[in-house]
């Protein structure tokens, strides 16, 4: 039995994701019947992945790719992988798939429900986890795939799906009677994706909150009606009924918004933890209790109401509109930063975790010496 000598993975301390370690192990390159060995070509690493780490226990993100030590975890990422060995009918060596991957060079999956569009990983430890994270799309048949847009897909597609669902959730609930939506961490990719979707509507004002260093970037996007720095929250008129969508998780910012708007706040949604060093509980606040938004719940609701195909078609249409400003020739919203090799990838992940990455940049990493 032969083994692959290049298998490695990056593990993160569950107490502090800024602490990372490289783990190496030989991997069997002759999979058992029912298994497929994937070589991970590249993956995106953004503030969204930091959120996965911060909610790793409560939202079970650590369970997808269990680490060797319970004190450590493997952060899930989105990216592309190539089949290097297959013992499953319908999946051939050399095929490429897009989906949920570990920060590693390889992944063994147990494909179930294999069809023209891809497969679901049927591994026992993933059976109770949200189905949306267990699906792998076959690049050759994925209508949303374009070989020249792999980087944008890896970085933005999972984030934009969440953005699309937040917008849909708010519209589905008539914006809880609010006239205005306030987004924190307005420079984050999920936030500006949400702002883009909201800006297509004529009946709601979109306000972005950001740090002074990101003010120019957020203002340049054009999808926010108004952009304020965090120390300008007191300028928000409390008489305008509002929804707060919290991407940062910063307790001080959340408190300031709730106190400023108070009874005018109709709904408060907690999305992520981009500012992971300032997460925490704030106790009783004026206005509604913050409610965690869980994208798979809205997917399940809309799939039941519209059907999965209709949901994906609506998403695809919104994605195509979103790609116009993201990839425009002059001042594109996203600049791709490609990083190859373990050491360079560790440095890039540390920069993102520390919140030092520039908002206009998106990192696509490959742990191998040469990316795909």
Residue whose token pair is 């994706």: 193
Q: In this predicted structure, what is the pLDDT of residue 294?
A: 84
Q: In this predicted structure, what is the pLDDT of residue 273?
A: 53
- Check: CB of residue 246 under 8 Å from CB of residue 271: yes
199: left (phi over 0), alpha (psi -120 to 50) or beta: alpha
Q: In this predicted structure, what is the pLDDT of residue 139?
A: 95
Q: In this predicted structure, what is the pLDDT of residue 6?
A: 57
Residues 6+ apart with CB under 8 A from 371: 41, 42, 338, 339, 340, 364, 365
Residue 345, number of CB atoms within 10 A of its CB? 23
Domain with CATH 3.90.180.10 in the chain: 3-145+334-366
CA 188 to CA 359: how far, in whole Å?
A: 7
Q: In this predicted structure, what is the pLDDT of residue 369?
A: 62
Residues 6+ apart with CB under 8 A from 168: 298, 302
Residue whose token pair is 């509002």: 242
The encoded tokens of residue 85 equal: 């060995």
Mean pLDDT by 10 residues, the chain (372 residues): 64 95 85 95 92 87 93 96 96 97 95 96 95 93 86 94 96 97 94 97 95 96 97 95 92 93 95 52 78 89 92 89 93 94 95 90 87 45
Q: Would you give the end-to-end CA distance of the chain in angstroms?
A: 28
Q: What are phi and psi of 238, to 5 degrees?
A: -70, -10
The second-level CATH assignment, the architecture, of 3-145+334-366 is Alpha-Beta Complex (3.90)
- Check: CB of residue 77 under 8 Å from CB of residue 118: no
Residue 342, number of CB atoms within 10 A of its CB? 17
Q: Alpha helix locations (H) across the chain?
A: 47-54, 150-172, 189-199, 215-221, 251-261, 295-306, 308-326, 342-353
Pairing status of strand 118-121 against strand 111-115: antiparallel
Sign of CA dihedral 331, 180, 190, 111: negative
- Check: CB of residue 250 under 8 Å from CB of residue 229: no
CA 162 to CA 52: how far, in whole Å?
A: 13
The CA–CA distances, whole Å, from 238 to 76, 180, 201, 257, 265 equal: 39, 11, 22, 10, 8
Q: In this predicted structure, what is the pLDDT of residue 285?
A: 85
Pairing status of strand 96-101 against strand 205-210: unpaired
DSSP secondary structure, 68-121, as one string: SSTTEE---EEEEEEEEEE-STT--TT-EEEEEE-SBSEEEE-EEEEETTEEEE
Q: In this predicted structure, what is the pLDDT of residue 368?
A: 84
Q: In this predicted structure, what is the pLDDT of residue 25?
A: 80
Q: In this predicted structure, what is the pLDDT of residue 23?
A: 92
Grouping H, G, I as helix, E, B as strand and the rest as coil, residue 277 is helix
Residue 127, number of CB atoms within 10 A of its CB? 11
Domain with CATH 3.40.50.720 in the chain: 160-296
Q: In this predicted structure, what is the pLDDT of residue 281?
A: 58
pTM: predicted TM-score of the whole model, two decimal places: 0.84
What fold, for 160-296? Rossmann fold (3.40.50)
Please tell me the total number of residues recorded for the chain in this structure. Answer: 372
Q: In this predicted structure, what is the pLDDT of residue 372?
A: 46
Q: In this predicted structure, what is the pLDDT of residue 130?
A: 87
Residues 6+ apart with CB under 8 A from 101: 38, 40, 43, 76, 77, 78, 79, 81, 107
């Amino acid at each position: 039995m032969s083994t692959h000598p290049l298998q490695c993975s990056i593990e993160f301390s569950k107490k502090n994701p800024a602490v990372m370690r490289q783990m190496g192990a030989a991997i069997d390159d002759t999979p058992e019947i029912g298994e497929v060995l994937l070589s991970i070509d590249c993956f995106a690493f953004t503030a969204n992945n930091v959120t996965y780490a911060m909610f790793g226990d409560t939202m079970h993100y650590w369970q997808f790719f269990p680490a060797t030590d319970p004190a450590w975890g493997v952060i899930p990422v989105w990216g592309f992988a190539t089949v290097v060995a297959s013992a499953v009918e319908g999946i051939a060596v050399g095929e490429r798939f897009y989906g949920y991957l570990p920060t590693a060079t390889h992944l063994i999956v147990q494909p179930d429900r294999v069809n023209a569009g891809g497969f679901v990983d049927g591994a026992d430890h993933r059976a109770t986890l949200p189905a949306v994270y267990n699906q792998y799309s076959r690049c050759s048949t994925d209508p949303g795939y374009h070989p020249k847009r792999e980087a944008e897909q890896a970085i933005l597609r999972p984030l934009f799906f969440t953005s699309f669902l937040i917008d849909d959730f708010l519209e589905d609930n008539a914006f809880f009677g609010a006239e205005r939506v306030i987004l924190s961490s307005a420079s984050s990719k999920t936030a500006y994706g949400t702002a883009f979707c909201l800006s297509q509507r004529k009946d709601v004002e979109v306000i972005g909150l950001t740090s002074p260093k990101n003010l120019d970037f957020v203002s340049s996007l054009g999808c926010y009606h108004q952009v304020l720095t965090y120390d300008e929250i007191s300028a928000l008129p409390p008489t305008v009924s509002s929804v707060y969508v919290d991407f940062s998780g910063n307790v001080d910012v959340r408190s300031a918004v709730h106190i400023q708007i108070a009874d005018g706040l109709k709904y408060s949604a907690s999305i992520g933890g981009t500012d992971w060093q300032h997460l925490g509980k704030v106790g009783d606040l004026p206005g509604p209790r913050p409610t965690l938004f869980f994208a798979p719940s809205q997917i399940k609701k809309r799939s039941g109401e519209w059907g999965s195909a209709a949901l994906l078609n609506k998403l695809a249409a919104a994605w195509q509109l979103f790609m116009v400003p993201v990839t425009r020739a002059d001042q594109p919203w996203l600049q791709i930063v490609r990083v190859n090799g373990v050491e360079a990838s560790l440095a890039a992940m540390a920069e993102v975790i520390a919140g030092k990455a520039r908002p206009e940049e998106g990192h696509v990493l490959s742990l191998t010496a040469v990316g795909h």
